[in-house]
């Protein structure tokens, strides 16, 4: 699938078929995250792929009861392994690095005919407890994956001239 | 260009041709950022496209003297307009939202035959001064764009089994 088509056709999918993701398809999706750029090529990430039904159910509860976390075939839990690194601009490296890697996976999933949804509404301490994640690791986001059982319309977007300005700030 | 090919062939480009980017090409790249998902569809972003030579030179100085910030045809300065929003997991929404949008642009640029490079090494206060960016706005990252004058090899990446684990944390 063309990159622009993947970007345009991606939706946040919240209803999934009860159908597992083929192993090689899942590995191809994961591999696109591996190829993501990261600050100083740190690759400060670990991805926990949760397919176990009981654990998905527990993650769903840790995600404020969002049922699609359980219904999706796989939950990719994006963990930052070196959350202490800061860029000269003052931003932590890890949320940006993890977001790029998970974005690659989300687009690659679209091209594979899979649906995905970013999950940011969860209690980090509960997710860490469920998956035995060490104290120093941060869980940045979860990306759920599966065969879609819905095809929602695109959410509204601001127009380009509302979000792009030239050569200096303007409202 | 196929999404996986764009992901695999993208490089951080630090040498650029002295050749402007066609307007419609630039707009297509920017539009892929517009389509990015964001927390609660906030679209909490503004992108300042800097093509003015003097300003690119000043941005280069604000970016610890990295010369390619000046040499690139365009600098996309990713600004967060609502940096106060926090997700239930405890992460700020804005670095993740901006990273996804800029990642879309970086991949779309690759498909357009353009090179790009993420710039995180800059002094935020200086960048804000150069571009008249208001106090409350955060500058998350800059993405430089232009026709590449180099084709570097891929940087080394960890193996998939070093970064992916299943159903629970493991080193």
Scored b (16 or more CB within 10 A) or e, B14-44 reads bbbeeeebeeebbebbbbbbbbbbbbeeebb
Cβ contact (<8 Å) for B111 and A30? no
For residue B25, which phi and psi values (nearest 5 degrees)? -65, -45
Cβ contact (<8 Å) for A95 and B100? no
Q: What pLDDT, on a 0 to 100 scale, did the predictor assign at position A102? A: 98
Nearest CA distance, B144 vs chain A (angstrom): 14
Nearest CA in chain A to B1: A2
Mean pLDDT of B66-77: 98
CA distances from residue A81 to A47, A105, B102, B113 in whole angstroms, order as listed: 10, 19, 23, 33
Tell me: ipTM over 0.90.
yes
CB-CB neighbors (< 8 A) of A166 in chain B: 48-51
Residue A9 banded pLDDT, cuts 50, 70, 90? very high
DSSP for B23-57? HHHHHHHHHHHHT---GGG---EEEEEE--HHHHH
Cβ contact (<8 Å) for B48 and A167? yes
C-alpha A2: how far from chain center: 20
Q: Which of A100, A120, A121 sits opposite B99 (nearest CB)?
A: A100
Mean pLDDT of A125-146: 98
CB-CB neighbors (< 8 A) of B55 in chain A: 167-168
Cβ contact (<8 Å) for B47 and A12? no
Q: What is the largest CA-CA distance in chain B?
A: 52
Residue B78 banded pLDDT, cuts 50, 70, 90? very high
Cβ contact (<8 Å) for A3 and B1? yes
Mean pLDDT of B106-115: 98
Shortest CA distance to B168 belongs to which of A81, A48, A63, A145?
A48
Q: Which domains does chain B possess? A: 3-150 (3.40.109.10)
Q: What pLDDT, on a 0 to 100 scale, did the predictor assign at position A84? A: 97
Total-model pTM: 0.98
Residue with tokens 């642009």: B105
Shortest CA distance to A106 belongs to which of B111, B95, B96?
B96
CB-CB neighbors (< 8 A) of A50 in chain B: 166-167
Q: What pLDDT, on a 0 to 100 scale, did the predictor assign at position B103? A: 98
Residue B144 banded pLDDT, cuts 50, 70, 90? very high
């Amino acid at each position: 699938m063309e990159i622009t088509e993947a970007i345009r056709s991606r939706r946040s999918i919240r209803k999934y078929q009860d159908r597992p993701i083929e192993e090689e398809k899942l590995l191809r999706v994961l591999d696109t995250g591996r190829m993501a750029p990261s600050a100083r090529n740190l690759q400060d990430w670990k991805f926990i792929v949760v397919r176990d039904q009981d654990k998905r159910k527990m993650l769903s509860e840790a995600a404020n009861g969002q049922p699609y976390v359980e219904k999706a075939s796989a939950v990719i839990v994006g963990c930052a392994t070196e959350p202490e690194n800061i860029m000269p601009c003052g931003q932590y490296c890890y949320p940006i690095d993890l977001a790029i890697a998970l974005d690659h996976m989300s687009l690659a999933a679209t091209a594979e005919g899979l649906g995905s949804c970013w999950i940011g509404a969860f209690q980090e301490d509960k997710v860490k407890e469920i998956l035995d994640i060490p104290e120093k690791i941060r869980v940045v986001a979860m990306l759920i994956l599966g065969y879609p059982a819905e095809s929602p319309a695109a959410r509204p977007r601001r127009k380009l001239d509302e979000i792009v300005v030239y050569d200096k700030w303007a409202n």
